[in-house]
Structure 1
Amino acid sequence: MSETWADTGRRARVFAAALIDLGLQHGERVAIMSGTRYEWLWCDYGAICAGGVRTSVYPSSLPADVEHILSDASARVVVAESAAQIDALRDLRSALPELTVVISLDGSREGDWLVPLEGVVSRGESVLAVQPYEALTGDDIAAILYTSGTTGRAKGVLLTHRSWNATLESLIAVDLLHEDDVTLLWLPLAHAFGKALSLMAVRAGYLTYIDGNLDRIASNLDEVKPTFMCSVPRILEKIHARVKTGAEASPVKRRLLDWAASVAMTTQELETTGERVPRKLGVQTKVADALVLKKIRGAFGGRLRFLSSGSGALDPAIAKWFGGAGITVLEGCGLTEAGSTTSLNRIGEVEYGTVGKPLPGTEVAFDTDGEILVRSASVMKEYHGNPEARPRRSPTTVGCAPVKSACSPIGATSASPIARRTCSRRRTASTSHRASSRRASWPCARTRHSSSSSVRAAGSSSDSSRSTRSR
């Protein structure tokens, strides 16, 4: 199925009209409990159009976690994907008194509080022309995203429309994504990273293929031929391991792969430092590319400009391996409390083992106890139901790094909120940025990097003819 963003917008408005007709009030919660699929996008956009606040539940969540999130968020509407999820909701019904409507994406059943998606769409179509929409402001809450709960009970992060707009504008300012790009979106949309990507697709207007089935990534890449893709380290590690394992079957193939990777990474290192590539090495690189490296790029469709990796630390050796094959990996860092991404490597300025520079509009500083302080307009308003709480990460966190930057803050003001973050075993890219050891008094997200870490102190306009495609 292929649709333009204008088609998607109309679906969202229809869904919004139906939600309002079903009694959804401004600021009430709409929870989506589903894997990554096209319907997620326009249900999410529709909830926003209706003046609602979207929250989400991972489809694999345990019943206790589902109950906690839906109860804590006071969800009024739930969009559920499967019969098993609907059965779980039915079992929790007495514990969720505010839940009045469950919308079934598979449409297999209806009755009582359960409405199939087709019925919701029909209802929206019938009232679309007369249904008024709520006026929204930048300070209205757009989403409540729940933390992973690794350091305690999952907490609801209140992100405003202003927060998301700040995230999108900072990504636009980096000038990585354009209307002629093509991507495959498979990351969980319940996560802040996936949510930001779903909004960025509309903001930049590029073609987006949507399929959350990990078993189909290989075949989808061959068909989609993306120009960029966002991933997590686990997937890149699996691809790397699969290529290495495939070569193990033949001693000749193994030696050829090792030789090609060594040649490519040596050439890449020389080019990165501005040194001259010896003629012999240049010839070897061309041979390696023809025999091996071109096939690795072909596995991703053959036209990737870059891969972006986040939500965890990627082994620098694996990032270099991909880089040598002609696939640039841009690692980044972020947290739910700061609206997803706060720092990112840039094409032509990649430092492996780092998360790059802070995004434009983001300030980074170091506290006296090693915490990393992040100030940006994208930082959350507060925790739901606990506005005095400070974010905190486990001391063993390895998913992000001390952020060093050569980019000066753009758009950040002294009134911008601060998020505190500390991370272990990672570092960031260099900076003349205002990184300081001062202690800040702003409310922040806290975590700590280990003292042994290597730290160098140093950051919708869309063409309606562009489209989304679901698989």
Structure 2
Amino acid sequence: MVENICSYFLKKQNLPGFAVKFKVNGEWKTLTWQEYIQKVEFVAGGLKKKGVNHGTHVAIMSGTRVEWSIADLAILGLGGVSIPIYPSNTTEEMTYILNNSETQFLFLEDGSQLDKWNKISSQCPNIKEVFIFTPHKEKNAATLSDLEKLGKQVVKDSPGLYAKSVSQIKLSDLASIHYTSGTTGVPKGVSLTHTQVTSEVVDVFSELGMISGDLTLTFLPFSHILGHVEYWGSIYLGYSIAFAESIDKIRDNLKEVSPTVLVAVPRIFEKIYNGVVSQAEINPTKKKIFNWACSVGAQVSKYKRSNKTIPLTLFLQYGIAQKLVFSKLHQGLGGKLKFCISGSAPLSQQIAEFFHAAGILILEGYGLTETTAAITLNRPHDYEFGTVGRALPNVQLKIASDGEVLVKSDKVMTEYYKNVEATKEVMQDGWFATGDIGELTDRGFLRLTDRKKDLIKTAGGKYIAPQKLENLLKLNKYISNVLIHGDQKKYVIALLTLNPDEVKRYAQNNNIAYENFAELTKKPEVQSLVRDAVANVNSGLASYETIKTFEILPNDFTVESGELTPSMKVKRKFCDKKYKEIIDSLYA
């Protein structure tokens, strides 16, 4: 029998081990499943007392932390609707989402989010009360602890309140409205019922073969559908989650936690890859050993992918390669990884193959917010690099005449909230138009080209996939982010940002003097370094795809400065507008 996510949660009452792990004042703390469930029940009791009922809309604006999951489960268990909001959203975006979603109660992370709220509170008349995770000097926001205390008495007076409420939830009930982070335009509210949530977590985690004894280190925003599904998966399956302190502390936390599964976006794997390559190139001897190990690992990878026995000599060489080179990578990732999962943006095939050569399998999947995350997935024993895997159960795929991927599934949203026209645009006779261009291989694996709206059509009528060029350039350790431009133009240009650590190291090794990083990016030696990287990429491209000229920007793209979405994808329209003068000058 298919159940709602909170029903699966309540069944974990007697599961051994810890449910969640998180740091408090520098020390790791845990909650058992029993303690976790009790906290959720108490918070739900507090919310019930405040007026949260079946169908009440409650927003959460916070980074990824254990309190986020507790609030979310309390909301869902009462039959409420959870509205995730990125903490990086501007006050304008926050106002739009709160009003469009008809939110009545709001959870905030800390004082900085409370400051945002205080600026717009008069513009959001539907909000009845605000709660805060981290205690703040202001008294106009109750804390999660306050709710827990209030709910403890409610639960005492009404035992079984949470379980009773959970039992009344229908799969057709609205569970969450996820607002697209939006690389273009105003965010749209993706309506997901308990049917979509359950269909996704049951199929994804069954296909992955994960077990209750697994442990993930979570750091993706729960406001992003991939992060939300990672945590919902733990609720369904019973595996444990450790909460990273921050993106900056991931490296330390990986070693402390030793996860068995890592869920991440390609940017994380790109940074790890570039870091490994950089260390290998410190001196000629290390580089030679590294290249030999990669060659041996690549051969082993081919045998593994074809399910053939590895020859004894190669097997022994691989053991040496592991000891000399790859073991450091494994240790850096905690030493216990079974596999990694990559989603949200395309993963470079070269990076996937490198990690596999090192003995670490990255399984790439594909989906959108509108499909409750994954609709295709590479499996641990059924994968093909350069693709996003086969369709999940209860997923039908077909390719439209223009190459667009269409999908029909219980995982597809019911609608864009209060946006009939936008819903009609993407739903075609029961099929959801993903907006992605792709093809199915002979073995049924989906291979993607790019977003349909992002494809560049040059003045000569040739189509170019910008993500392909961007990902190739980002394989270079000196390059951080890239924006390819060329629509309706005679040639392709690139805006690039650099990796400060690597470029500064290069400057130090080559005695290049500079006062600040912006000045360093203009140095002839650095310009030459990037020119060589562009030429290297161009050498493998068709003539119409080649990058004719480029500009190095003084500062990297960030979420805070607006160029990136919270899932680290480039906001093309925003960048085109922000850097219009530079782009125009490259075509002058």
TM-score tier by shorter-chain length is: 0.7 to 0.9
Cα drift, residue 283 of structure 1: 3.0
Equivalent residue, structure 2, for 1:102? 130
- The range that moved more, 324-333 or 249-258, is 249-258
SS in 1 for 2:423: coil
1:370 and 2:398 aligned: no
* Greater Rg by CA: 2
Cα drift, residue 392 of structure 1: 7.0
Q: Tell me, in whole angstroms, the C-alpha distance in 1 between the residues paired with 2:184 and 2:440.
A: 24
Equivalent residue, structure 2, for 1:464? none
Cα drift, residue 275 of structure 1: 5.0
SS in 2 for 1:369: coil
| Aligned partners of 2:384 and 2:445 also within 8 Å | no
> Structure 1 residues 240 and 427, CA, compared in 2 at 3 Å: closer, same or farther?
farther
Equivalent residue, structure 1, for 2:526? none
Equivalent residue, structure 1, for 2:436? 423
1:328 and 2:361 aligned: yes
Q: Tell me, in whole angstroms, the C-alpha distance in 1 between the residues paired with 2:445 and 2:297.
A: 33
Cα drift, residue 449 of structure 1: 8.7
Task: State which of 124, 128, 134 in structure 1 corresponds to 2:151.
Answer: 124
Cα drift, residue 62 of structure 1: 1.1
SS in 2 for 1:390: helix
Cα drift, residue 281 of structure 1: 3.0
Quick one: higher RCO (CA 8 Å, sep 6+), 1 or 2? 1
Structure that is richer in helix per residue: 2
Question: What are the superposed Cα offsets for residues 138-171 of structure 1, whole Å, 9 maximum, x if unpaired?
Answer: 1110000001222321000110011101111212
1:221 and 2:254 aligned: yes
SS in 1 for 2:222: coil
In structure 2, give the amino acid aligned to 1:154: P
Question: What are the superposed Cα offsets for residues 214-234 of structure 1, whole Å, 9 maximum, x if unpaired?
Answer: 121111111211111111100
Task: State which of 265, 270, 280 in structure 2 corresponds to 1:232.
Answer: 265
| Aligned partners of 2:390 and 2:444 also within 8 Å | no
Task: State which of 88, 94, 99 in structure 2 corresponds to 1:60.
Answer: 88
- The range that moved more, 143-152 or 33-42, is 143-152
Equivalent residue, structure 2, for 1:36? 64
- TM-score with structure 2 setting the length: 0.68
Equivalent residue, structure 2, for 1:91? 119
In structure 1, give the amino acid aligned to 2:363: L
Equivalent residue, structure 1, for 2:568? none
Equivalent residue, structure 1, for 2:242? 209
Equivalent residue, structure 2, for 1:410? none
1:248 and 2:281 aligned: yes
> Structure 1 residues 287 and 392, CA, compared in 2 at 3 Å: closer, same or farther?
farther
Equivalent residue, structure 1, for 2:9? none
SS in 2 for 1:420: strand
In structure 1, give the amino acid aligned to 2:71: C
Task: State which of 64, 77, 80 in structure 2 corresponds to 1:49.
Answer: 77
| Aligned partners of 2:342 and 2:364 also within 8 Å | yes
> Structure 1 residues 391 and 176, CA, compared in 2 at 3 Å: closer, same or farther?
farther
1:165 and 2:178 aligned: no
Q: Tell me, in whole angstroms, the C-alpha distance in 2 between the residues paired with 1:346 and 1:392.
A: 32
Q: Tell me, in whole angstroms, the C-alpha distance in 1 between the residues paired with 2:212 and 2:424.
A: 36
In structure 2, give the amino acid aligned to 1:108: H
| Aligned partners of 1:357 and 1:429 also within 8 Å | no
- TM-score with structure 1 setting the length: 0.84
Equivalent residue, structure 2, for 1:383? 416
> Structure 1 residues 144 and 368, CA, compared in 2 at 3 Å: closer, same or farther?
same
| Aligned partners of 1:227 and 1:306 also within 8 Å | yes
1:193 and 2:226 aligned: yes
Cα drift, residue 428 of structure 1: 5.5
Question: What are the superposed Cα offsets for residues 91-115 of structure 1, whole Å, 9 maximum, x if unpaired?
Answer: 1011100111111111123434x21
> Structure 1 residues 175 and 329, CA, compared in 2 at 3 Å: closer, same or farther?
closer
Question: What are the superposed Cα offsets for residues 17-46 of structure 1, whole Å, 9 maximum, x if unpaired?
Answer: 111111123212111111111111110000
Q: Tell me, in whole angstroms, the C-alpha distance in 1 between the residues paired with 2:143 and 2:80.
A: 20
- The range that moved more, 183-192 or 166-175, is 166-175
Question: What are the superposed Cα offsets for residues 65-94 of structure 1, whole Å, 9 maximum, x if unpaired?
Answer: 111111111111111112111011011011
Question: What are the superposed Cα offsets for residues 409-439 of structure 1, whole Å, 9 maximum, x if unpaired?
Answer: xxxxxxx953221324x6665445999xxxx
- The range that moved more, 153-162 or 13-22, is 13-22
1:360 and 2:388 aligned: no
Q: Tell me, in whole angstroms, the C-alpha distance in 1 between the residues paired with 2:256 and 2:444.
A: 43
| Aligned partners of 1:109 and 1:116 also within 8 Å | no
> Structure 1 residues 434 and 298, CA, compared in 2 at 3 Å: closer, same or farther?
closer
In structure 1, give the amino acid aligned to 2:157: V
Q: Tell me, in whole angstroms, the C-alpha distance in 2 between the residues paired with 1:286 and 1:121.
A: 53
Q: Tell me, in whole angstroms, the C-alpha distance in 2 between the residues paired with 1:255 and 1:350.
A: 30
SS in 2 for 1:389: helix
> Structure 1 residues 50 and 305, CA, compared in 2 at 3 Å: closer, same or farther?
same
Cα drift, residue 50 of structure 1: 1.9
1:302 and 2:335 aligned: yes
| Aligned partners of 2:188 and 2:417 also within 8 Å | yes
Cα drift, residue 349 of structure 1: 2.2
Task: State which of 34, 51, 69 in structure 2 corresponds to 1:6.
Answer: 34
> Structure 1 residues 312 and 76, CA, compared in 2 at 3 Å: closer, same or farther?
same
| Aligned partners of 2:43 and 2:144 also within 8 Å | no
**Aligned alpha-carbon RMSD (Å):** 2.4
Question: What are the superposed Cα offsets for residues 148-195 of structure 1, whole Å, 9 maximum, x if unpaired?
Answer: 222321000110011101111212431421111111111110111111
In structure 2, give the amino acid aligned to 1:365: K
In structure 2, give the amino acid aligned to 1:122: K
In structure 2, give the amino acid aligned to 1:24: V
Question: What are the superposed Cα offsets for residues 187-246 of structure 1, whole Å, 9 maximum, x if unpaired?
Answer: 110111111111110111012111251121111111211111111100000001111111
- The range that moved more, 158-167 or 7-16, is 7-16
In structure 2, give the amino acid aligned to 1:83: G
In structure 1, give the amino acid aligned to 2:88: S
| Aligned partners of 2:390 and 2:446 also within 8 Å | no
Q: Tell me, in whole angstroms, the C-alpha distance in 2 between the residues paired with 1:391 and 1:233.
A: 31
In structure 2, give the amino acid aligned to 1:219: D
Equivalent residue, structure 2, for 1:140? 173
Cα drift, residue 5 of structure 1: 2.1
1:317 and 2:350 aligned: yes
1:18 and 2:46 aligned: yes
Report the identity percentage. 33
Cα drift, residue 289 of structure 1: 1.4
SS in 2 for 1:31: strand
In structure 1, give the amino acid aligned to 2:99: S
Q: Tell me, in whole angstroms, the C-alpha distance in 2 between the residues paired with 1:77 and 1:263.
A: 57
- Structure 1, unaligned stretches of length 5 or more? 394-415, 436-445, 454-471
In structure 2, give the amino acid aligned to 1:420: A
| Aligned partners of 2:337 and 2:360 also within 8 Å | yes
Q: Tell me, in whole angstroms, the C-alpha distance in 2 between the residues paired with 1:381 and 1:319.
A: 34
SS in 1 for 2:286: helix
1:260 and 2:293 aligned: yes
